[in-house]
Amino acid sequence: MTLNAPNISHARPRIRQLDEAAINRIAAGEVVERPASAVKELVENALDAGAGNIEISIADGGKTLIRVADDGCGMLPEELPLALSRHATSKIDGSDLLDIHSFGFRGEALPSLGAVGRLTITSRAEGGEGASISVAGGEIGPLRPAARAIGTTVELRDLFYATPARLKFLRSDRAETQAIHDVVKRLAMAAPGVGFTLRDLSGGGEGRVSFRADARSGDLFTALGGRLRQIMGAEFIENSLPIDAEREGFRLTGHAALPTYSRGAAVAQYFFVNHRPVRDKLLLGALRGAYADFLPSGRHPAAVLFIECDPHLVDVNVHPAKAEVRFRAPGIVRGLIVSALRHALAEAGHRASTTVAGAALGAFRPEPATGEATARVYQMDRHSRGAIGAALSAQAPAPETPGFAEMAAPSARFEPVEEGVDRALEDLPLGVARAQIHENYIIAQTQDGMVIVDQHAAHERLVYEKLKQQMAERGIAAQALLIPEIVEMSESDAAMLHSVAGDLARLGLVIEPFGSGAVAVRETPAILGEVDARALLRDILDELADLGEAQALKARIDAILSRMACHGSVRSGRRMRAEEMNALLREMEATPHSGQCNHGRPTYVELKLADIEKLFGRR
């Protein structure tokens, strides 16, 4: 049976030289995938030209119009035709393709855009005359004089009109507009000292400004922090940690969010290499690894990170779109990211994101009635704070009032604290324990508010950190069981446990085979105290099944330690004395990462007194 290849002729093929127009259209398929790609190339050209302000205008998702105007150095009239030639650039001289300090360097963007759309360039350089040149479908028009201030305007109309098949692969106008927004925001992060304006002209007229970021001034973190506040929002800055670390020629700067400020998708992760926005698997993997100990499956960290190094240490000429890079020493870069982020998270201590408190307060607030335009004004708001304080003092129950303890709900326990210790503890970050409710939540009073602590989640993180510390220092101490506990299970589960028996022994859990489909537990980690061996083994089996075989040994050990910690922590439903609750609060303050449990959930919620008073209409 003979198979016919429909795209291959039976005649002998002949080698021929493609014309310039076909070459440019082929190149455009690599450089310009969609309107957002065109915007990226044009804005990068403006940044390379030293622009201080860049205005981008689009229509119909960039399909019918893309215009980028800048106040950069501009071009002389005689340079405009050369700018439309392939591989003509002012960025490099071609002697060293690794010594690249600019965004663009390949000289492909403008001729590629002119090959698939209607392109017009208007520019003027200092000391020269303004000029304009147009190209449509690869056909270059004559050079014409034009009036313009110093700088360049590039206008691209009817993208892909010369290759209509490409138009069928574009998404909706809304989706393409969103992709352009993402590109502009990334470039705005890369250049905080440059002003950006994105205007949507769809429908005609002057359009509307959909994105604006004014130029920021100041040092590295001041300018970057101001720009990220504009783009990522104030919440990100308030709940992120500044990063600044160096290792063997690489410097890492930026902001990384607290684990409790995680996202449901990887939509808030931005990396820049020598200020170039990139999407690199190595960098994204290092970010996931840094947060692996703090986030559960399905949650993703938020971070904006910049890597700076000698251009010779990184190859940016991997792909025409320049979105991928290749490092000469990838292990150093990955280690720098993981160690710097983990060090910053450790220094954050017990800190949790403010969005946790915001969500709690939002849950307390009643929804406004339909049609209610303004907040209700209470009678007490018309009195002075002094009058309110005097009224509250008069209405407060006397200390000797009998029956007050009996009035408390059965699930709430109020513990007295010595008067001398009381005020001193209130000054500490997590305050002084006042009550335990539902045998699971500790209520603590701080100098300017209150803290609600999930006792099980908090102690679980504390035990986990102790286990990791013991493991790193000397191995986890084990306690021998007087009578080994026999746990029956399937033969496959028993085989899985026996395959990691050596690792479990290092963790203080010693197991042995006990016939077919059974395991004898002879020793358990001493720090866990009395544990349910059967439940512990089941949890470890679940963790091994979730991780699979591809995980590194350390990741598997940490995951098992996390499961063990759950069995050694204070259980929900246990009543705690005042000294126990305060001891837990003090340990949380001294332990890194105690603001979130092993699964990434917050261990406490802090409510400021001012916010609580608002709930009751006091402010």
CATH of the domain at 43: 3.30.565.10
- 447 and 576 together in one domain: yes
Do residues 465 and 569 lie in contact, with contact meaning Cβ atoms separated by under 8 Å?
no
**What is the model's pLDDT at position 508?**
84
**Alpha carbon separation from 53 to 105, 173, 323 (Å, rounded):** 22, 26, 24
Residue at 546 is within a domain: yes
Q: Give the chain's domain count.
A: 3
User: How many of the other CB atoms lie within 10 Å of CB of 386?
Assistant: 8
Distance (Å, whole) CA 503 – CA 500: 5
Domain-terminating residue out of 159, 189, 211: 211
Distance (Å, whole) CA 566 – CA 570: 9
What residues make up the domain containing 538?
353-364+411-619
Q: List the end-to-end C-alpha distance of the chain, in Å, as a whole number.
A: 87
- 205 and 238 together in one domain: no
Domain-terminating residue out of 211, 229, 246: 211
Closest CA to 195 of 179, 212, 211, 181: 212
Distance (Å, whole) CA 112 – CA 299: 40
**What is the model's pLDDT at position 226?**
92
CATH of the domain at 305: 3.30.230.10
Do residues 341 and 578 lie in contact, with contact meaning Cβ atoms separated by under 8 Å?
no
- 504 and 551 together in one domain: yes
**Alpha carbon separation from 446 to 384, 531, 609 (Å, rounded):** 24, 35, 9
Would you state the structure tokens that stand for residue 142, as one six-digit string? 């004559």
Residue 38 CB partners (closer than 8 Å, separation 6+): 32, 62, 66, 113, 117, 156, 159
Sheet strands side by side (includes 510-513) = 478-488, 518-525, 510-513
- 127 and 233 together in one domain: no
Q: Which residue type does 63 have?
A: K
**Alpha carbon separation from 294 to 203, 464, 465, 552 (Å, rounded):** 47, 11, 11, 17
CATH of the domain at 481: 3.30.1370.100
- 515 and 606 together in one domain: yes
Cα maximum dimension of the chain: 108
- 476 and 597 together in one domain: yes
For tokens 């508010």, the residue is 449
Residue at 415 is within a domain: yes
Domain-terminating residue out of 185, 211, 237: 211
**What is the model's pLDDT at position 379?**
41
- 182 and 288 together in one domain: no
- 198 and 167 together in one domain: yes
Q: How far is CA 442 from the centre of its chain?
A: 31
Query: What phi, psi does 228 have (nearest 5°)?
Result: -65, -30
Threshold 0.95, pTM exceeds: no
Residue at 393 is within a domain: no
CB under 8 A, 24+ apart: contacts of 216-223? 216/192, 217/193, 220/253, 221/253, 223/192, 223/193
Residue at 380 is within a domain: no
Q: What is the 3-state secondary structure (H, E, C) of 474-536?
A: CCCCEEEEEEEEEEECCHHHHHHHHHCHHHHHHCCCEEEECCCCEEEEEEEEHHHCCCCHHHH
Q: How far is CA 10 from the centre of its chain?
A: 55
User: How do beta strands 53-59 and 195-200 pair?
Assistant: parallel
- 269 and 297 together in one domain: yes
For tokens 């303050």, the residue is 589
Distance (Å, whole) CA 440 – CA 432: 16
DSSP 298-332: T-B--EEEEEEE-GGGEE-TTSTT----EES-HHH
- 203 and 258 together in one domain: no
- 359 and 498 together in one domain: yes
DSSP symbol at 602: B
Helical residues (DSSP H) of 207-315, grouped into ranges: 220-231, 234-238, 281-291
Residues in the chain: 619
Q: What pLDDT digit, counting tens, does each position of 367-381 carry?
A: 554 444 444 444 434
Residue at 527 is within a domain: yes
Q: What is the 3-state secondary structure (H, E, C) of 348-417?
A: CCCCCCHHHHHHHHHHHCCCCCCCCCCCCCCHHHHCCHHHHHHHHHHHCCCCCCCCHHHHCCCCEEECCC
- 343 and 358 together in one domain: no
Residue at 66 is within a domain: yes
Residue at 93 is within a domain: yes
In which residue ranges of the chain is pLDDT below 50? 1, 92-96, 369-385, 387-388, 391-392, 394-409, 549-551
Distance (Å, whole) CA 428 – CA 445: 10
Residue at 34 is within a domain: yes
Q: What pLDDT digit, counting tens, does each position of 468-516 carry?
A: 887 777 777 888 888 899 999 888 888 888 888 888 888 888 999 988 8
Distance (Å, whole) CA 584 – CA 303: 31
